[in-house]
Amino acid sequence: MCKYCSIILHSLDRWRAHVFRHEIKYHSNVQTICLGRKQTLKCQNLTIFARSHHCEYCGRCFTWRSTLKKHMRIHTNERPYQCQYCHKCFTQSSSLNVHVRIHTQEKPYQCEYCLKRFMRSCTLTKHIKTHTAEKPHQCEFCQSCFFQRNSLLRHMRTHAKESQNYMCEYCQKSFKRSNSLKVHIRVHTKERPYHCSYCQKGFPEQSSLKRHIRTHTKEKPYRCSYCQTCFALKGTLKRHIRIHTKEKPYQCDYCQTCFAQRSILTAHIKTHTREKIVYQAVSTQY
């Protein structure tokens, strides 16, 4: 835990880097001392090494050798930490620990307001803001405030030049994000850059590949908290949970009937539009 802001960090390297930022901010007597090829930053009783460890693949620099070692696995694709339940592998032990909670359903982080529990501390932090109504991320253009930084970034695109439409050269369909256009174009070019290591089938998106791989591994990481049934897809679990909660978020504009699934609503709406077409046809006859 950070002694300055009480945030909890689960990695020693991250804790050191985080505390360092506070030390730089709160103490003005920071001195840089050169020791041969090493450079250290001394701040009162805290000594922190400068970024002297370089990645041979991308040139990125790191303060600690252990952090560089973890980073290198991005390039080498080394995944030394394996899940004992589904044998999925990870680059870091912390990622494995979080993943295992999907199987064990362990939720160590509890909300002090409603006692709801979470698997990740970051999820708890976001949840708490729904109680405190805290919106720390503010738009510099219109002063709108948001719970999460990602929400602010999405909002900022409505002001920035990035919000200009990106148009497909094949079908003229427009997109708000250049990355969305890039993925869409693969529909026309048939490009499939992501391939399954089991059957070599190609996919236009990495997320599609991840879902497909579960058909081989039979992994079902999403478990219902009501009946313990497991699902391969998060969306399938979300629809299933509505059986327990009786939630029906999709409402018909014609008769206000509510449905648990969008597909059922779509089918229902056709009963109204079909009636409308029949009525108009009958009206023209008289």
The whole-number average pLDDT for the span 187-193 is 90
Q: In CATH, what number does 165-247 get?
A: 3.30.160.60
Q: At what angle do helices 65-76 and 12-26 cross, to 10 degrees?
A: 130
Torsion angle, alpha carbons of 270, 276, 282, 285, to 10: -120
Strand partners, 195: 202
Find tokens 């579960």 and name the residue.
Answer: 214
* Amino acid 34: pLDDT: 35
Is residue 175 predicted with pLDDT exceeding 60? yes
pLDDT at 124: 87
State residue 188's pLDDT score: 93
Give the model's pLDDT for residue 280: 55
Higher pLDDT, residue 213 or 27:
213
State how far the alpha carbon of 197 is from the alpha carbons of 38, 53, 75, 216, in Å: 43, 33, 18, 10
Residue 214 has pLDDT above 80, yes or no: yes
Contact 138, 144 (CB under 8 A): yes
Inform me whether the pLDDT recorded for 262 exceeds 90: no
pLDDT band of residue 33 (cuts 50, 70, 90) is: very low
pLDDT 10s digits, 131-173: 877 778 888 878 788 877 778 887 777 776 554 578 888 898 8
Q: How many residues does the chain have?
A: 286
pTM of this prediction?
Answer: 0.41
Residue bearing the bigger pLDDT, 187 or 77 = 187
Q: Are strands 61-62 and 81-82 parallel, antiparallel or unpaired?
A: unpaired
Q: Which of 8-12, 36-40, 54-58, 170-174 has the lowest mean pLDDT?
A: 36-40
pLDDT tier, 46 (very low <50, low <70, confident <90, very high otherwise): very low
> Pick the residue with more confidence: 176 or 231?
231
Residue ranges with strand state E in the chain = 31-35, 38-43, 46-49, 53-54, 61-62, 81-82, 89-90, 109-110, 117-118, 137-138, 145-146, 166-167, 174-175, 194-195, 202-203, 222-223, 230-231, 250-251, 258-259
Q: Provide the mean pLDDT of the chain.
A: 78
Measured CA to CA in angstroms, residue 160 lies from 13, 66, 164 at distances of 35, 39, 8
Model confidence pLDDT, tens digit, residues 233-255? 888 998 998 899 888 888 888 88
